[in-house]
Amino acid sequence: MDDNFSYLARSAFPLVWILVPAAGAFLRARRARSREEALEIWQRWWAIGAFGIGSLWMTVAFLAVPDTMAEAIGFGRTPFMVEIAFANLGLAVMGFRAASASARERITIGLGGGMFLWGALAGHLYQWFANGDHAPGNTGGVLVNDLLIPAVMIALAVRSRRLAPSPRPTAHVPA
């Protein structure tokens, strides 16, 4: 029983980087004065919490406790883990930048992060099905994060662009 609970807890832990920003945004957005303001609150919570802090956590974890992370993902420790750490640092910087970015920039940040995270998702699924890697850091919450963190960033930014007022055309008067 303890082994099952431990596995479940370790597998589900990455979901904290989705659940905490979602809960924070939900609570804060209830006081928003408009749909646009509520959407901006969601985008900032998601950018900082899910994208920024979640990725920064992965950076620190891969650099500070590489043996633990190697065990969590079901692999031996390799120099490749340092590359994963710094790729996550790049995601963290993009996430923090997205907090004050335009909708167009947020879409780009979501797509850029998605290239890494969706590739990681494909790799996790491959290891799971081809090699039977059921390690808690290869299945479970990490799969949800890899899929949803960039997808939600993109969806929120696209919605924000659609809600933004269209610029009024200006008439050009010849001199």
* Confidence (pLDDT) at 163: 85
pLDDT in tens, the chain (175 residues): 667 888 888 899 999 999 999 999 999 999 999 999 999 999 999 999 999 999 999 999 999 999 999 999 998 899 999 999 999 999 999 999 999 999 999 999 999 999 999 999 999 999 999 999 999 999 999 999 999 999 999 999 999 999 877 665 566 666 6
Largest CA distance in the chain: 83
- CB contact at 8 A, 61 and 123: no
How far is Cα 10 from Cα 73, in angstroms, rounded to an integer? 11
Q: Domain map of the chain by residue range?
A: 2-163
- How many Å apart are CA 40 and CA 106, to the nearest integer? 11
Which pLDDT does position 154 carry in this prediction? 98
| Distance between CA atoms of residues 77 and 86, nearest Å | 16
Provide the pLDDT for residue 172. 67
Q: Return phi, psi of residue 174, to 5°.
A: -65, 145
The number of angstroms, rounded, from the C-alpha of 38 to the middle of its chain's C-alpha atoms is: 20
